[in-house]
Amino acid sequence: MTTDNQQKINASDHLANERTFLAWIRTSIALMGFGFVVVKFSLFLKQLTIVVNDKMPAPSRGFSVIIGISMVAIGAITALIGYLRYQRIEQQLLNGKFNPTSRLLFLLTTLLIAASIVLLYYLLSNL
């Protein structure tokens, strides 16, 4: 009877691992999609300026393009990290030796806070 319970626990652990992987993928797609929108919106504003003013817009610093491309790259890296994490946890579950770590969470949180500070500085400097 413990074998059935053990199989149910293992199945739910594996399914939870898959759900977590899918959450990483959703986050990745959202980051890439938002980065794409930022770049395209920047191009739209430049074209709108040309149409409205009948002249070329003043050269801008182009930070929105850099931010958008960076977000697409971060989204791709997020997908890769999610996949590698999924594979590592899957192996741990199959071996029956799960070792949780918080280093990745700390790194991602630190990077997110740093990116937020950079974006806040950019937004506040343009007021």
Backbone angles phi, psi at 100, to 5 degrees: -70, 145
Residue 41 is part of which domain span?
Answer: 2-98
Output the pLDDT for position 6: 58
pLDDT tens-digit readout, 50-61: 777 766 655 565
Separation between Cα atoms, residue 30 and residue 72, nearest integer Å: 9
Q: Can you give the length of the chain in residues?
A: 127
Q: 68: exposed, middle or buried (C-beta count within 10 Å: 0-12, 13-18, 19+)?
A: buried
- In this prediction, residue 126 carries a pLDDT of 66
Let me know if 86 is exposed, middle or buried by CB neighbors in 10 A (0-12, 13-18, 19+).
middle
Residue 84 is predicted with a pLDDT of 93
pLDDT > 60? residue 2? no
Position 123 in a domain = no
> Is residue 120 included in any domain, yes or no?
no
pLDDT band at 1 (very low <50, low <70, confident <90, very high): very low
85 domain residue, yes or no: yes
Query: 5-45 pLDDT, tens per residue?
Result: 555 568 899 999 999 999 999 999 999 999 888 888 877 77
Share of the chain above pLDDT 70, in %: 84
Compute the average pLDDT of residues 79-102.
90
Under 8 Å between Cβ of 75 and 29? yes
Pairwise CA distance, residues 44 & 35, whole Å: 14
Stated pTM of the model: 0.73
110 is a domain residue: no
User: 51 in a domain, yes or no?
Assistant: yes
The pLDDT value given to residue 50:
74
Residue 28 lies in a domain: yes
Instruction: Find how far residue 42's CA is from the centre of its chain.
Output: 21
Domain presence at residue 68 = yes
- Provide the domain count of the chain: 1
